[in-house]
Structure 1
Amino acid sequence: MQRRQLILALTACATLPLPVRAQTYPGRAVHIVNPFAAGGALDQLARLLAQHLNVALDQPVVVENRTGASGNIGTAYVAKSAADGYTLVMGSSATHGINPSLFGARLPFDPVRDFAPVAVAVVQKNVLVVHEGLPAHTVQELIEQARAQPGKLSFGSAGAGTSQHLSGELFKAQAKVNLLHVPYKGSAQAMQDLLGGQVSMLFVDIPTALPHIRAGRLRALGLTAAQASPALPEVRPLAQLGLPDFDLKAWYGVLAPAGTPAPVLARLNTVIVDSLRDPKVREHLLGIGMEPMTLDLDQSAQYIATELQRWADVVRLSGAAL
C-alpha cells in the first residue's frame, strides 16, 4: 500500500510544471542604437563601449546608427523596442535634456517614462573652432567681426537641439551677435563643411575637432565649459574670455526601454562602469576630451533628471526655437 501511494505521489509530481529555469543574460547579440551619424563623439563612445561589452558579456554587441530629427528617430525606436536588454540607446543631453524643451508635445517619446537609465558614461565639453581663413584669432575679434557683419557669419552643429546648437545660441545671446545656424545630421558632416569653408565656425565636440586643431587646419578660440579640458589645456573657457556666464557641457550615456528587468540593468551598469574604470580606457577618453563618469543606476537616473531641468533653463535663456 505504501509502495502504491509512493508511486502515485511521484506520478503526480511528474505532471507538475518544472520551475522555470532562470534566463542568463545575454543569450544573443545586443544592439546599441546611436541616434546620430557615424563619426561623431557619441559614435566613438558607442563603439568603444561595444568593444568592452562584447568581451564582458561574451556576446556580439553591434552599434547601429538610426539618425534623423535631432536624434529623435533612433531614440523613439528604442523606446518602442522590447524591454529585454537586447536593444539599447546612446542617450545624451540632446535626446534626454534639450529636445524635450525644444520639441515639447512633438517629441515622439517621453524621456523619463519610456526609458530606464543604465549608465551616464561621460561628460563632454565642446570647443569653439573657426576655419583657418577666418580673420578672427580671438573670441573678441570674432564678436567684433560678427557685429560688423550681422547675419553673415554662420555656425554649424550636429543638428538642431544638440548641445552644439545650444552653445551657439547661448553665444549669440550673451555676445549680442547675429549668427546663422546651419544644422547637420552629425558632427562629422558639420566638420567637413567647416574645413571646406561652407560655414564660419563650429561649437563642436572635442573628439571631432582635436585632429584638425592639432594639424593646424582649425583654430580653437574657447571652450564652452567653465573648466579647462585635459585634451586642450592651452584653450581657455569662454567664461574667461568675456562671456563670464558661459558654462555648457554635454553628457553621453546608455539607456534601455522602460520595464527592462532590474537584474539586466544592474549587469549592464556594472560592465559599463568597470570598463570606464579601466586605466587605458580612462586615458583614451581623457585624451580625446571625454571625462568618464562611474555612476550606478540610481545616480544615473538622478543625474539625467537634473540635466533635464538644467537644459530646459538653457533653452529658455538662449531663446532657441525650432
Structure 2
Amino acid sequence: MLARRSLLLAAPALATIPIGDRALAQSWPSRPISIVVPFPPGGSNDLLARPLAAKLQQALGGHPVVVENRGGAGGTVGAAQVARSAPDGHTLMWGHVGTLAVNPFIYPNIPYDVLRDFAPVALVATLPGVLAIHPSVPARTTAEFIALAKARPGTLEYGSAGNGSASHITMASFCDAAGIDLIHVPYRGNGPMLTDLLAGRLKVAFAGAPVVLPAVRDRLLVALGMSASRPSASIPGINPVAEALPGYEMVQWHGLVAPAATPPAIIARINEAVNGQLGDPELQQRLVMEGADAAPRTPDAFRQLIASELERFRGLITRAGIRAD
C-alpha cells in the first residue's frame, strides 16, 4: 500500500550528503537535462512529465530541461536506453508503475533489472482509478457490485485498455481482493473501451479519472468508488473502494529515475528541486487536471515503494495469469 506521508518525506535530502559530494552536485548541470518518457506523445505519462519538466527548468534557473518520447514495447525500449545512459544526472526517465513494477513480469527477457539498473530520484504523482459501471448494472455502491458479481460469477464483462495495461492490472487486483470472477475484454486503448462501456456492451471498467469522469458527470456512467485508500483531490466526491473492501489500494504512480551509478549528491539535488516544485499550486492544479495528486518522497522512500510494488505485482500477475499483448 502506498503510504500517505508526503510532507514528512519531502524534506531536503542534501543535508545527509557529505560536503565533498555536495561540491559535485554544485557543478551539475553542465548541459541540457533530458527526461525520457518511454511512451509516445500525448498519453498520461507525457502530459504529466511536461509540466513537471517546465517547473524543474524554472527551479534550475532556466537551465534547459527537455522531454524526449522514446516509445516501444510498453516502455521497455526507452527504459533500456536510459539504463545504458551516462550516470551523470543529465538523463532521467519518467518512471511509471507499469515500466518499473509490472513490465518485469509480463514481458519475457526484459532488457533491464529495475533495482539494479536504476536509481530512484523522486516520486512525482499518484493517479487513482475510478470503478465505473453502465447505469443498467443493478448496483450503486462498491459493496452492491461485489455482491452482484459473487451472485453471478463469470458473467459480467469488464474492459481494459489492453492486456497488462493499468486498467487491466487495477481491475485484476480488485477482483483478487474481492474474491470475484469477471470476464476480461481487452481493447487497444481507452477510447474503444469507453465506447463499448457507454453503449452497455461492457458493464464495468476501472479506468483513470480523465477517461470516465466526464461521462459520470453527464450521468452516462455511474462511479462506484476510486482506488486510493483515502479521499483524493483529483477525484472529489468519490469514496474509496477501501470503504467496502478494507485494505484495498491500487494507484498508478509516476516519478523520475536515473541510471544506477548517478552520484547520490546529484540525485539529492534533483529530488529537492522536484519536491519544492510539487508544492507549487499551479503545478498541483495541472496534475489534478490529469487525475493525479502530487506525492513528494525522498529517494529512499521511492526505492522502498518500487521494491514493495515489485513484490506485490509478482504475486498478482502470477495469480491472474496476465501477459502483455
1:226 and 2:229 equivalent?
yes
Cα distance, 1:55–1:26 mapped onto 2, change above 3 Å: farther
1:70 to 71, 74, 81: 74
Cα shift at 1:136: 5.6
Alignment deviations for residues 74-124 of structure 1 (CA, whole Å, 9 cap, x no partner): 222221223233322111222222222344x62221001111111011222
Cα shift at 1:184: 3.7
2:98 to 94, 101, 104: 94
Give the match's secondary structure for 2:278. Answer: helix
Alignment deviations for residues 198-253 of structure 1 (CA, whole Å, 9 cap, x no partner): 75543222244444433444432221233222333322222334x44532222210
CA distance in 1, matches of 2:261, 2:110: 20
Q: Which amino acid aligns with 1:250?
A: Q
Cα distance, 1:189–1:23 mapped onto 2, change above 3 Å: farther
Q: Larger deviation: 65-74 or 198-207?
A: 198-207
Cα shift at 1:197: 6.6
TM-score under structure 2 length normalisation: 0.76
CA distance in 2, matches of 1:81, 1:198: 46
Cα shift at 1:156: 1.0
Cα shift at 1:48: 1.5
1:303 and 2:323 equivalent?
no
Cα distance, 1:223–1:97 mapped onto 2, change above 3 Å: same
Match of 1:285 in 2: 287
Alignment deviations for residues 137-178 of structure 1 (CA, whole Å, 9 cap, x no partner): 544358637965845623113x44344322111233334223
CA distance in 2, matches of 1:134, 1:284: 33
**Contact 1:155/1:168 (8 A) holds in 2:** no
Match of 1:80 in 2: 84
* Alignment gaps of 5+ in structure 1: 1-21
Q: Please identify the structure whose Cα radius of gyration is greater.
A: 1
Aligned residues between the structures = 295
CA distance in 2, matches of 1:208, 1:63: 24
**Contact 2:128/2:226 (8 A) holds in 1:** yes
1:270 to 262, 269, 272: 272
Match of 1:319 in 2: 320
Cα shift at 1:45: 1.6
Alignment deviations for residues 44-67 of structure 1 (CA, whole Å, 9 cap, x no partner): 221111111222232332323333
CA distance in 1, matches of 2:192, 2:85: 29
Match of 1:255 in 2: 257
| Identical counterparts, % of pairs | 34
* Alignment gaps of 5+ in structure 2: 1-25
2:119 to 93, 116, 121: 116
Match of 1:206 in 2: 209
Give the match's secondary structure for 2:116. Answer: coil
Cα distance, 1:183–1:62 mapped onto 2, change above 3 Å: farther
CA distance in 2, matches of 1:66, 1:24: 24
**Contact 2:227/2:251 (8 A) holds in 1:** yes
